[in-house]
């Protein structure tokens, strides 16, 4: 008789509306124009999603100069610097922007602050494509990146009374709160976003993990090593009381020695991880343990983003 294991399954988990839309954009582009359709950067940070789209005829490239002029190109959900669509237009390419509308909202905010003459701080992680896309909305030097509370202390503004901040959408709500508090303490007149920049899906997935964490002996987050929101979920679980939390790409990456002494497993998936990977991990647990699955629902998501007009069905 295999030993019992309770699996607490987070709801919501996995794909968010922005990821759903981005994947659909590539699929619809392939349907409309045929293969190959080029995609600048991974459309979303998940190798399973990327390899499925590659099998359908998508070609993933790092830069626009790797794309031929006569084939369509899709820009990833993370957003791109303004220079990229400008260059595509100059080359008279067919292009579709799959930037998540919540990321686009941050871009619009940053541009508004720049028009109003404010110096802008972006709270985010260096090197992340979303950060590169946001910073690339404005001329170089218009925006400064702040990654930690320590960065706040060493930041030297041009005018401490004329600042604004925006944030990367996939950060931990708690981490951002600490940095925002430090900014507001040091620069009381700093302009904040009208509404939180952290996306609803990031917030909801983190809240679900917080609710489950104290009950779990081990927490597994399904997601890619390159996925910022998935990595944050691992940290949130540890911070909220789970003794051990790991990021795994799929069931194949699980080290089953982690399960020694584990009676309750917390399980979730980052915003770019497909549901079949979650079910695959549950099946792998079922093969080894006598499992009980308890879905823990902390929010219901009904957000749907429209496709770009060029792909809307006539």
The reply to whether 175 and 158 lie within a common domain is yes
Comparing CA positions, the residue from 194, 300, 215 lying closest to residue 262 is 215
The reply to whether 107 and 142 lie within a common domain is yes
Assigned domain for 223 exists: yes
Assigned domain for 302 exists: no
| Integer Cα distance of 228 and 221 in angstroms | 12
Assigned domain for 314 exists: no
Please give the torsion angle defined by the CA atoms of residues 109, 83, 96 and 38, in that order, rounded to the nearest 10 degrees. Answer: -140
The reply to whether 78 and 128 lie within a common domain is no
| Integer Cα distance of 288 and 2 in angstroms | 7
User: What was the pLDDT predicted at 174?
Assistant: 83
User: Which strands, in side-by-side order, build the sheet including 58-61?
Assistant: 58-61, 37-40, 73-75, 95-97
Phi/psi for 269 (5° steps) reads -140, 140
Assigned domain for 244 exists: yes
CATH of the domain at 90: 3.40.50.11270
145 sits in which H/E element: strand 143-146
Assigned domain for 311 exists: no
Comparing CA positions, the residue from 140, 134, 244 lying closest to residue 197 is 134
The reply to whether 179 and 127 lie within a common domain is yes
Assigned domain for 307 exists: no
Note the pLDDT tens digit of each residue in 65-88: 999 999 999 999 999 999 999 999
Note the pLDDT tens digit of each residue in 236-261: 999 999 999 999 999 999 999 999 99
The reply to whether 80 and 95 lie within a common domain is yes
The reply to whether 259 and 204 lie within a common domain is yes
- Residues of the chain predicted below pLDDT 50: 314
The reply to whether 90 and 117 lie within a common domain is no
| Integer Cα distance of 261 and 265 in angstroms | 11
Q: Which of 154, 186, 218 is the last residue of a domain?
A: 186
Own/partner long-range contacts of 172-181 (Cβ < 8 Å, ≥24 apart): 172/206, 172/232, 172/235, 172/236, 173/198, 173/202, 173/203, 173/206, 174/236, 174/239, 175/232, 176/123, 178/149, 179/123, 179/146, 179/148, 179/149, 179/151, 179/152, 180/123
The reply to whether 74 and 128 lie within a common domain is no
For the chain, the residue count is 314
User: What was the pLDDT predicted at 197?
Assistant: 76
The reply to whether 205 and 224 lie within a common domain is yes
The reply to whether 51 and 92 lie within a common domain is yes
Tell me the residue range of the domain where 62 lies: 17-100
Helix (H, G, I), strand (E, B) or coil at 97: strand
User: What was the pLDDT predicted at 1?
Assistant: 63
CATH of the domain at 271: 3.40.1010.20
Assigned domain for 313 exists: no
Q: Domain count for the chain, please give it.
A: 3
The reply to whether 148 and 172 lie within a common domain is yes
Assigned domain for 312 exists: no
The reply to whether 96 and 109 lie within a common domain is no
Measure Cα distances from 10 to 51, 79, 113 in Å.
26, 28, 37
Comparing CA positions, the residue from 24, 23, 39, 36 lying closest to residue 70 is 36
User: What was the pLDDT predicted at 294?
Assistant: 98
| Integer Cα distance of 15 and 185 in angstroms | 36
Catalytic amino acids?
A: 130
């Amino acid at each position: 008789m295999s030993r019992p294991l309770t699996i607490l399954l987070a709801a919501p988990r996995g794909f968010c509306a922005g990821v759903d839309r981005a994947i659909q954009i590539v699929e619809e582009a392939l349907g409309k124009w045929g293969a190959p359709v080029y995609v600048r950067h991974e459309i979303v940070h998940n190798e399973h999603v990327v390899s499925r789209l590659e099998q359908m005829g998508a070609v993933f490239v790092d830069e626009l100069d790797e794309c031929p002029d006569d084939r369509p190109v899709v820009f990833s959900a993370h957003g791109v610097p303004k220079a990229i669509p400008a260059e595509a237009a100059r080359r008279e390419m067919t292009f579709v922007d799959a930037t998540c509308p919540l990321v686009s909202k941050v871009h619009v905010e940053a541009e508004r602050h720049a028009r109003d003459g404010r110096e802008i701080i972006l709270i985010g992680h260096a090197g992340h494509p979303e950060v590169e896309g946001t910073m690339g909305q404005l001329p170089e030097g218009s925006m400064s990146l702040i990654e930690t509370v320590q960065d706040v202390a060493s930041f030297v503004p041009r005018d401490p009374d004329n600042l604004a901040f925006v944030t990367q959408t996939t950060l931990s709500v708690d981490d951002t709160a600490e940095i925002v508090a430090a900014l507001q303490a040091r620069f009381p007149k700093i302009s904040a976003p009208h509404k939180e920049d952290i996306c609803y899906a990031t917030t909801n997935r983190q809240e679900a993990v917080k609710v489950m964490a104290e009950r779990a002996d081990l927490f597994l987050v399904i997601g890619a090593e390159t996925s910022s929101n998935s990595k944050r979920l691992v940290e949130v679980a540890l911070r909220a009381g789970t003794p051990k939390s790991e990021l795994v790409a799929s069931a194949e990456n699980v080290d089953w020695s982690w399960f020694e002494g584990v009676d309750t497993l917390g399980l979730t998936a980052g915003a770019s991880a497909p549901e079949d990977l979650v079910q695959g991990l549950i099946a792998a647990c079922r093969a080894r343990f006598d499992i009980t699955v308890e879905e823990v629902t902390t929010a219901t998501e009904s957000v749907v983003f429209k496709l770009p007009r060029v792909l809307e069905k006539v």
